[in-house]
Amino acid sequence: MTLRTEFVALAHRPENTIAELCRRFGISRTTAYKWLARAQANEPLSNRSKRPHVSPQKTSPAMEERVVCLRDTFPDWGGRKLSKVLRRDDHVDVAPSTVTHILRRHGRLGSPMRAPSKPYMRFEHDAPNELWQMDFKGPVHVGRVRCDPLTVLDDHSRFNLVLGTNTDMCGNTVRQWLTEAFRRYGLPRRMNMDNGSPWGVGNGDSRHLSSFTIWLVQLGIHVSFSRPFHPQTNGKDERFHRTLDVEVLRRRTFYSMEQLRQAFDHWREIYNHVRPHEALGMETPADRYTVSPRPFPEQLPTIQYSPDDLLIRVHQRGRIRLLGHPLTVSVALYGHTIAARPRPTEDGVYDLFFNHHRLQTIDMRSVR
């Protein structure tokens, strides 16, 4: 601006020529006469906006109001999710970048999130109910009552099957929540848990199985355990906890368990049926989930073993005898019958099974 003002002042002096001034200021004659014309019209010499006078494709005020209203309804959803909701519910195609610009103009966006240093590597099972992930969300304090919400998530669809407002982490409490889910959605093929209570410790030692895990095995469900100190094994359920924390728990203070339950039920409906999921191609979990073809049996089925199996009764403290040798399995198996299955290719080696679940391998050649 200083140079432009000086140029105009010098150009009005009779001893200076326009051509010489243009050469010294390093500008073209077109630019020089443009500045002189603006100065004669008492217009500012700064650059004019290149914004077009007419924008036929500009978003209408009504649409901007709709975007802002959606953002206020779902304050944690960004441009991609809101664009998907507009396309799905309002049949209006608004680009995610346009939605983001609208939110920024109206002060609905905070500081931009930093992109991850490494791209995400996602793994999922091919069909619903192939794997359910189960865990407890960290403690939620409702007044003086501690709540440890139980969460169960389908691996393929991210569909939330259980969001329980339980005040303890006992096996019987979890069993009640799962029984309701099994009756509604059927039985999964496998369930994965961590190594805490009440699941047991999945370190390959059958002595640490729990009565709750044994109940799942009796239902014909395969059980698996995350590696110790590796929560990413249940990564989808851990990510669900983060979303629950951001969209529900951080925004409100709950004064009763009934208030918390109503909030969970309301948000669970949004999460499963309304909220687009980026890992699902902006579909909702309900778009990809279907119930299991395996119904829940009201009575536990009878366990059938192979005719070649050696059937062994488990006594107190998990004691058994295999070919006269005392061994120990899970205390929770007391009163149950397990099978010792010889390996056809390894003489003297037996696999101990409870139903389909392999408890451990015993090499009788090394047993004293």
Both 198 and 67 in one domain: the answer is no
Both 142 and 284 in one domain: the answer is yes
262, part of any domain: yes
SS3 145: strand
The sheet carrying 190-193 orders its strands as: 160-164, 150-154, 132-136, 190-193, 222-225
Both 94 and 22 in one domain: the answer is no
Both 140 and 172 in one domain: the answer is yes
51, part of any domain: no
Res 118: pLDDT: 58
Res 227: pLDDT: 72
Res 92: pLDDT: 87
- Mean pLDDT calculated for residue range 122-141: 89
- Mean pLDDT calculated for residue range 325-352: 89
Helix (H) or strand (E) holding 243: helix 235-244
Both 157 and 267 in one domain: the answer is yes
What residue numbers bound the domain in which 170 lies?
A: 132-288
pLDDT digits (tens, 9 = 90+) for 185-239: 999 999 998 877 788 754 444 556 788 999 999 999 999 888 766 666 788 999 9
Task: Tell me the C-alpha to C-alpha distance, in Å, between residue 301 and each of 38, 323, 347.
Answer: 92, 28, 32
315, part of any domain: yes
Pick the range with the lowest mean pLDDT from 11-20, 30-39, 52-61, 284-293.
52-61
Report the C-alpha gap between 182 and 174 in whole angstroms.
Answer: 12
pLDDT digits (tens, 9 = 90+) for 232-274: 678 899 999 999 999 999 888 899 999 999 999 999 999 999 9
Both 168 and 250 in one domain: the answer is yes
Report the C-alpha gap between 318 and 206 in whole angstroms.
Answer: 10
113, part of any domain: no
Residue 346 confidence class, pLDDT cut points 50, 70, 90: confident
- Mean pLDDT calculated for residue range 327-331: 87
Q: What is the mean pLDDT of the chain?
A: 87
pTM equals 0.77
| Percent of the chain residues past pLDDT 90, beyond the cut | 42
Number of domains in the chain: 4
Please list, residue by residue across 334-348, b when 16 or more beta carbons sit within 10 angstroms of its beta carbon and e when fewer do: eebebbbbeeeeeee
114, part of any domain: no
Both 278 and 350 in one domain: the answer is no
Both 18 and 136 in one domain: the answer is no
Pick the range with the lowest mean pLDDT from 122-131, 154-163, 350-359.
122-131
327, part of any domain: yes
Apex CA 347: angle with CA 341 and CA 348, to 5°? 65
298, part of any domain: no
Q: Which residues pair with 358 in a beta bridge?
A: 353
Burial category of 41 from C-beta neighbours within 10 Å (exposed 0-12, middle 13-18, buried 19 and up): exposed
Res 107: pLDDT: 85
Both 89 and 13 in one domain: the answer is no
Task: Output the domain CATH number for residue 261.
Answer: 3.30.420.10
Res 202: pLDDT: 47
Q: How many CB atoms lie within 10 A of CB 46?
A: 9
Report the C-alpha gap between 134 and 238 in whole angstroms.
Answer: 10
pLDDT digits (tens, 9 = 90+) for 150-191: 999 999 999 999 999 998 888 899 999 999 999 999 999 999
Does residue 110 carry a pLDDT above 60?
yes
Please list, residue by residue across 306-329, b when 16 or more beta carbons sit within 10 angstroms of its beta carbon and e when fewer do: eeebeebebeeebebebeeeebeb
CB of 216 within 8 A of CB of 199? Answer: no
Both 20 and 97 in one domain: the answer is no
Q: Which residues pair with 287 in a beta bridge?
A: none
Residues near 223 by beta carbon (within 8 Å), at least 6 away in sequence: 190, 191, 192, 193, 199, 202, 213, 216, 217, 357
Both 73 and 136 in one domain: the answer is no
Does residue 288 carry a pLDDT above 80?
yes
355, part of any domain: yes
Res 44: pLDDT: 84
The whole-angstrom distance between residue 66's C-alpha and the CA centroid of its chain comes to 27
Residue 135 confidence class, pLDDT cut points 50, 70, 90: very high
Res 204: pLDDT: 44
- Mean pLDDT calculated for residue range 89-117: 80
Q: How many CB atoms lie within 10 A of CB 30?
A: 8
Report the C-alpha gap between 72 and 60 in whole angstroms.
Answer: 19
Helix (H) or strand (E) holding 257: helix 257-273
CA atoms within 13 A on the CB side of 103: 27
CB of 209 within 8 A of CB of 200? Answer: yes
Res 295: pLDDT: 94
Both 211 and 342 in one domain: the answer is no
